[in-house]
Amino acid sequence: MKIAAQSSRILASTLAAVSLFSAGALAAPASTAIQVEREPTPSSAIQATANNGSPVTVTAEQAEGSFQVVYQDQEGQESSATVTASSPEDVIFACVVTEDGSSLRVRQGPGTSYPILCSVDNNTVFPKTGKTDGWVQIACNGRTGYVSEDYIVEKTTDELLNGGGSTNGNLTDSEYDGTLAQEIVNYALQFEGYPYVYGTAGPNSFDCSGFTSYVFNHFGYKINRTSRDQLKNGVPVEKSELQPADLLLFSRNGTTISHVGLYIGNGKFIHASTSTTGVIISDLNSTYYVNHYFAARRII
């Protein structure tokens, strides 16, 4: 086990916005020391165990060393704990699957007696951050939520993106950089579960065009800030020829762009969806997105 000794570079405001704890850790005292394994990576879900054996999950961008996290217990009271952070070697995703294709309720705790946090569409994907008593803990819109494991299919990053095969195995465009595209996709996936806030463009919250512009800007591609203007960026791509990191544009009325997202492969895309769900992965072939799909642009 490697325990970092340096203090965190994370600001307290960042911690308050993105720290998530499982229900089992709600009673942990403020001075609880939490030991975890492996090195941290930005924006990943961090699995940890308190000295009292309670499981703890923290999501923190640029987490390094020991730092304070702030969270709310079931009564809404703020508590804090000191953690020494790192992330899992491979993120496991929770894919929502309902028999009739209906939406699924996300609870604030592991049971139907807890209040409803939000409802999510069938085939929506979230980072899995824990599991307790038949309920899967997920990161949803900057908060911790719980869904019954009966409606969850777990997938690794590789399975999610390409079913275990090569995402870019059928490239036909000689100008397309599949390696860079995968780096862009992997970077975007780190923000899944972050909050949606209109008018923001990172790093702690996003609206739809703020999210795509933030991701591309990280790699040196300065695209327009608004969804309407992002239609002017890149080159047109047919829907049948989509590749990872292509920009997807949607329209409610068939003429004006109202939403954007980033294609990640295997019929999925990541986007800052709504103030209810935050940054999520959705199925491009779902009825809503089929009906509102407008165009795609290749930026890289």
Task: Name residue 61's amino acid.
Answer: E
Dihedral angle, C-alpha 114, 118, 123, 125, nearest 10 °? -90
| 271 is a catalytic site residue | yes
Q: What is the DSSP letter of 283?
A: E
Phi, psi of 131 (to 5 degrees): -155, 135
Residues 6 or more apart whose Cβ sits within 8 Å of residue 23: 74, 109, 110, 132, 137, 144, 146
Residue type, 136: V
Contact indicator for 290, 283 with CB cutoff of 8 Å: no
- DSSP string of 41-80, one letter each residue: -TT-EEEEEETTS-EEEEE-TT--SEEEEEEE-TTS-EEE
Q: Of the listed 118, 208, 218, 292, which one is catalytic?
A: 208
In order of 120, 164, 208, 260, 268, the CA distances from 128 in angstroms are: 15, 19, 22, 24, 17
229 near 237, Cβ under 8 Å?
no
- Cα torsion angle, 38, 41, 45, 48, sign: positive
Q: Which of 95, 118, 140, 271 is catalytic?
A: 271
208 included as an active-site residue:
yes
Which residue type occupies 166?
S
Q: Which of 95, 118, 140, 259 is catalytic?
A: 259
- Give the residue numbers annotated as catalytic, written as ranges: 208, 259, 271
